[in-house]
């Protein structure tokens, strides 16, 4: 079977990944089940069952990523610790443990600290990888100090430092309001089209940093298509799947609704490019 680029398949991740050709993917953005029992697909009999499922898709995913490619995996900090160990054992190169401050809680507890973060593991296949540091700079906070520094510079170790007009370097702690939090009305979250959609601006940060226009971005747990939308908006090609028909339909509808910035149109493979897998 051939897979089409810029398409989302209604398929199980194992079947899908077995069809993706080796060394073809520039960036994998993976937001898999967490075993938090948020939905039927997020419910595993035990932590061991969850880990065997996770390690099984990781085993199929790794060979699809190019030697110059990158991999981001979302999960709870606890699960991320196991996944990190597994990726190291598989020879991948650790780059960052990113803490996503969700501005919303995963769960409230009075017997320990309430969870308010998720982890994003950033790994690469080798030391030759894309990292567009200037494309993900963040505006400086202290405008007064920065205005002053822009004019006169700040003396640092005998050298004059001038702020970068694109902003400061992005750190490994990310503050993005969760979709649940953003959509709250009078403190209550209305039913969203997906139980755990990721914020588009956060996925765009990953795509801008770790891929270039025209690259191929893979997501084998596509949900309602956030990765595909972020890729399309930024002139990257995408490919992915989800096992839920309703989510795949919503993802396709959302994809049709977004308009591309002109500069990104030429980077997309609009004719359906067929990949022999
Ligand atoms: C955490 S959600 C992804 C949400 C997505 N990032 C978004 O923003 O919409 C995980 C997704 O994995 C899908 N899923 C679960 N098990 C799967 C499997 N075996 N194969 C493919 N998709 C699966 C679920 O249907 C769910 O949409």
Q: Could you read off the pLDDT of 257-267 as tens digits, one per residue?
A: 986 655 566 66
> Is there an atom of ligand 1 within 6 Å of 179 CB?
no
Q: Could you read off the pLDDT of 108-124 as tens digits, one per residue?
A: 788 999 889 999 999 99
Distance 42 CA to ligand 1 centre (A): 9
76 and 204 housed in the same domain: yes
Residue 146 belongs to domain spanning: 131-171
120 and 141 housed in the same domain: no
* Ligand 1 atom at minimal distance to the Cα of residue 224: 9
66 and 100 housed in the same domain: yes
Distance 276 CA to ligand 1 centre (A): 25
8 Å CB contact between 227 and 219: yes
Measure Cα distances from 138 to 101, 129, 134 in Å: 16, 22, 9
149 and 19 housed in the same domain: no
> Is there an atom of ligand 1 within 6 Å of 200 CB?
no
> Is there an atom of ligand 1 within 6 Å of 35 CB?
no
State yes or no: pLDDT of 183 exceeds 80: no
143 and 43 housed in the same domain: no
Instruction: Quote the strand ranges of 131-271, DSSP E.
Output: 154-156, 159-161, 173-175, 216-219, 237-242
93 and 190 housed in the same domain: yes
Q: Number of structural domains, the chain?
A: 2
Rounded Cα–Cα distance for residues 208 and 212 (Å): 7
Distance 232 CA to ligand 1 centre (A): 19
142 and 38 housed in the same domain: no
**What's the pTM value of the predicted model, to 2 decimals?**
0.91
Tokens of 58: 């990781």
138 and 125 housed in the same domain: no
Q: Could you read off the pLDDT of 100-156 as tens digits, one per residue?
A: 999 875 677 889 998 899 999 999 999 999 999 999 999 988 877 788 778 788 888
Between strands 159-161 and 65-75, the pairing is unpaired
> Is there an atom of ligand 1 within 6 Å of 31 CB?
yes
74 and 147 housed in the same domain: no
């Amino acid at each position: 079977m051939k897979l089409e680029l810029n398409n989302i398949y209604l398929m199980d991740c194992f079947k899908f990944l077995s069809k993706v050709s080796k060394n073809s993917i520039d960036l994998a953005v993976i937001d898999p089940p967490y075993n938090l029992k948020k939905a039927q697909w997020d419910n595993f009999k035990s932590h061991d069952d969850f880990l065997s499922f996770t390690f099984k898709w990781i085993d199929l995913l790794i060979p699809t990523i190019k030697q110059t490619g990158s991999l981001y995996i979302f999960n709870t900090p606890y699960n991320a610790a196991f996944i990190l160990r597994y990726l190291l054992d598989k020879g991948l190169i650790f780059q960052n443990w990113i803490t996503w401050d969700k501005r919303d809680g995963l769960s409230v507890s009075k017997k320990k600290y309430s969870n308010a973060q998720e982890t994003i593991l950033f790994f690469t296949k080798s030391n030759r990888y894309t990292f567009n540091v200037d494309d993900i700079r963040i505006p400086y906070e202290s405008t007064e100090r920065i205005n002053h520094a822009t004019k006169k510079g700040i003396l640092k170790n005998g050298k004059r430092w001038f702020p970068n007009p694109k902003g400061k370097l992005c750190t490994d702690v990310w503050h993005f309001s969760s979709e649940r939090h953003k959509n709250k009305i009078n403190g209550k979250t209305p039913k969203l089209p997906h139980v755990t959609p990721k914020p588009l601006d956060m996925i765009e940060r990953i795509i801008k940093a770790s891929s270039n226009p025209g690259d191929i971005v893979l997501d084998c747990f596509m949900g309602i298509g956030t990765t595909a939308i972020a890729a399309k908006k930024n002139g990257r090609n995408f490919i992915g799947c989800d096992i839920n028909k309703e989510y795949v339909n919503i993802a396709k509808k959302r994809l049709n609704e977004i308009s591309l910035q002109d500069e990104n149109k030429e980077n997309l493979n609009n004719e359906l490019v067929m990949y022999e897998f």
